[in-house]
A = this chain, B = another copy of it.
């Protein structure tokens, strides 16, 4: 039975006052994005059509700490600090000497870490006089988080939801509408980008991004909002890791390894960057482990190159591990991990050997998630299920070696809207598509011509 679990509760005053910017601590300065037309380094001006000045300032910030505006901290109080607990029951089930600590972001209204950036973006846009935010959403986590955030700051929110998800996840749609958001099935008839893709009715993240960007660019009162990948999004998420540091201090432990799942990278960045900073400063000896899906193994199989952030090639080129901007990942259930690239900041840490990446099949991830649900109660989202799979691996290694090991894992969200995936797993109907060498060969040929990196 074990001891249930031990929690390390923080109060409101423990909500961080600053976001942690990893950029100044990196071994080498971050590479700039490139303008998609000129292939020259893109500066703040290139972003001003769709982002307000404060967000652009955060995107290119060079100071190690960026102050969190008080109204954003106030909004954080709705669900932060989030719980950190020791998973005694899982430890007992794995019969491991390892200590497993779980930082859980699923207690936010939208059910994941995404609102950490959504409220920051909604606030800065409201301050800049913007009246409407547009965005895309795949599985619906980011769209619902932004709808929630817009409801707090009095903004309209207009979401283009990938057609197939729109049909399969009606309750994520309902959630956005409950918070006052407008949801369009993408491709829609409302944009040129959508009308041009009308024959691809199942849609894609790339098309949805194009629609949201198009509407923001043509409406001076509207901005576009992105839920991952960019530096400012990673920055906003660092409240997670800072709280975890304080909570592990309460537990009297330092992590031997910190584990998170990686899609666009914002969850992983948020949990790990505050720890990475301490490690880079020589104040911690910690490994960092990025768990990604075998069906979309950006960090483990991708090329480190400049590539577009979207399928249509409208965004700046970013330096990242990529499977090719037109790669369409197979329909695995972790919709939040189906992205062809990764946050440049996370990629640079992988490139520098500071972060190790591992790819897992979704059936292995669901097996770990089920064991977690049946020992610790919480039903994990399919995305953090990959991180839990890595935790099981680490815990069993510790058992083999007969040595203690302190593992911290980010449980980025619950699986309340992903239970069809659990049904499929329990029925033995989950497939395990894997990215092939041939896929990569083909992708490399289609990468844009741009300066080499790495």
Residues of A participating in the B interface, judged by any CB pair closer than 8 Å:
1-7, 9-12, 71, 73-79, 89, 107-109, 111, 148, 151-153, 170-171, 174-175, 177-180, 370, 373-379, 416-417, 419-420, 422-423, 426
Q: How far, in Å, is A112 (CB) from chain B's closest CB?
A: 12
* Docked-complex contact A374 and B4, CB < 8 angstroms: no
* Docked-complex contact B419 and A416, CB < 8 angstroms: no
A77 CB contacts on chain B under 8 angstroms: 3-7
Q: How far, in Å, is A91 (CB) from chain B's closest CB?
A: 14
Q: How far, in Å, is A3 (CB) from chain B's closest CB?
A: 6
A377 CB contacts on chain B under 8 angstroms: 78-79, 108-109, 148, 152
A1 vs B75: C-alpha distance when bound (angstroms): 9
A111 CB contacts on chain B under 8 angstroms: 416
Complex copy number for this chain: 2
Q: How far, in Å, is A416 (CB) from chain B's closest CB?
A: 4
* Docked-complex contact B420 and A174, CB < 8 angstroms: yes
From known contacts A7-B77, A416-B416, A416-B417, infer whether A374 and B174 are also in contact, taking CB-CB under 8 Å: no
* Docked-complex contact A78 and B174, CB < 8 angstroms: no
Q: How far, in Å, is A380 (CB) from chain B's closest CB?
A: 10
A396 vs B328: C-alpha distance when bound (angstroms): 53
* Docked-complex contact B178 and A370, CB < 8 angstroms: yes
* Docked-complex contact B426 and A178, CB < 8 angstroms: yes
Q: Find the B residue at minimum CB distance from A8.
A: B11
A6 vs B76: C-alpha distance when bound (angstroms): 11
Q: Which 7 A-B pairs have the closest CB atoms?
A: A109-B377, A4-B74, A174-B419, A4-B77, A171-B419, A416-B416, A151-B374
* Docked-complex contact B109 and A75, CB < 8 angstroms: no
* Docked-complex contact A177 and B422, CB < 8 angstroms: yes
